[in-house]
């Protein structure tokens, strides 16, 4: 299942995150790919709002993973920056509670292989200054139907 969207500005990226956050549940694993400044953290901030977790969601540059507890009796958002992780084994060493959380991994390509049977990959590409092309690529039984 692949869905393609054109996201014209940061506000629209945030809004996409809010919609996506509303569709996510405990056990979901989402990998965000795209170059620096693509909008991965902007999207994650929206996801946090859609899930109803405590903010602020910021770039977790100085920690590998940050947990945002739910304010609405839902799952926490675990926000991972895998940029400085060398391997899937190091990702595994984070020992995240996948079952109970929504896990969002920036720079997660290649890090989550074999971790879960369903992964939603969100690929963000820069088209020009503000426009982003977004692909939602869901693999596994959880993502058999369109996400949005
Ligand atoms: P990343 O986490 O991928 O490095 P950030 O979300 O931290 O990216 O930053 C994205 C930057 O690009 C922000 O400064 C944001 O204002 C800007 N931007 C411009 N257009 C967009 C867009 N369509 N979607 C997301 N961010 C955008
Ligand atoms: Mg970021």
Task: List, chain by chain if needed, residues with CB within 6 Å of any ligand 1 atom.
Answer: 7, 9-10, 13, 34, 36-42, 59, 106, 130, 132
Nearest to 126 by CA among 43, 40, 34: 34
pLDDT for residue 62 is more than 80:
no
Q: Is residue 122 part of a domain?
A: yes
Number of domains the chain is built from: 1
Q: Is residue 146 part of a domain?
A: no
Is the predicted ipTM greater than 0.90, yes or no?
A: yes
CA distance 17 to 95: 25
Mean pLDDT of 4-12: 98
The whole-number pLDDT of residue 60 equals 61
> How far does residue 40's CA lie from ligand 1's centre (Å)?
7
Task: Ligand 1, residue 35: give the atom nearest the CA.
Answer: 3
> How far does residue 141's CA lie from ligand 1's centre (Å)?
30
CA distance 77 to 66: 8
Give the pTM: 0.96
Look up the domain containing 72 and give its range.
2-141
CA distance 15 to 127: 19
CATH at 70: 3.40.50.300
Q: Is residue 148 part of a domain?
A: no
Calculate what percentage of the chain has a pLDDT beyond 70: 98
Q: Is residue 130 part of a domain?
A: yes
């Amino acid at each position: 299942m692949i869905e393609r969207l054109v996201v014209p500005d940061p506000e629209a990226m945030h809004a996409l995150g809010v919609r996506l956050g509303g569709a996510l549940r405990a056990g979901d694993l989402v990998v965000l790919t795209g170059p620096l400044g693509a909008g991965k953290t902007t999207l994650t901030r929206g996801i946090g709002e859609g899930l109803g977790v405590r903010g602020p969601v910021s770039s977790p540059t100085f920690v590998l993973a940050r947990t945002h507890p739910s304010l609405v009796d839902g799952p926490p958002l675990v926000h991972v920056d895998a940029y400085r992780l060398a391997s899937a084994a190091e990702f595994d060493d984070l020992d995240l509670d996948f079952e109970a959380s929504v896990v969002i991994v920036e720079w997660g390509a290649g890090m989550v292989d074999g971790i879960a049977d369903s992964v939603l990959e969100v690929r963000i590409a820069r088209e020009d200054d503000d426009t982003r092309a977004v692909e939602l690529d869901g693999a596994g039984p959880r993502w058999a139907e369109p996400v949005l």
